[in-house]
Amino acid sequence: MRKFLYAAVAFSLVAPAITSAPAFADDRTYKRDRHEYRYRCKRSNHATGTVVGGVGGAVAGGAIIGGPVATIAGGVGGALLGRHIDKKEHEKRNRERGC
């Protein structure tokens, strides 16, 4: 029962990031070798990185240090780190595509 409570608290910390604004996309086209190519320039709310980082951080914090405070702190730290990494990867990918 205690682990379920910790998981619920960790999820409640990252739930607002899941329900934030939807991602928008912009289509870009370019011509090369008599063909027209299309790719998407994506805008992301970085929910995937936040959720994965939060869950991973909560598990790591609980396993390494133990206790509810370590689990919550690991979840928050992991969520922030996961969002940062996801944001940088999206920026890099969009920069490569010329967006």
For 15-52, what is each residue's pLDDT tens digit?
655 554 444 445 556 566 666 666 666 677 788 889 99
pLDDT score at 22: 47
Residue 30 host element (H or E): strand 25-32
Residues 6+ apart with CB under 8 A from 86: 44, 46, 48, 49, 50, 53
Residues 6+ apart with CB under 8 A from 95: none
**Percent share of the chain, pLDDT over 90:** 27
Mean pLDDT of 64-77: 91
Nearest to 30 by CA among 20, 40, 22, 21: 40
Residue 92 pLDDT class (50, 70, 90 cuts): confident
Query: Is the predicted pLDDT of residue 56 greater than 80, yes or no?
Result: yes
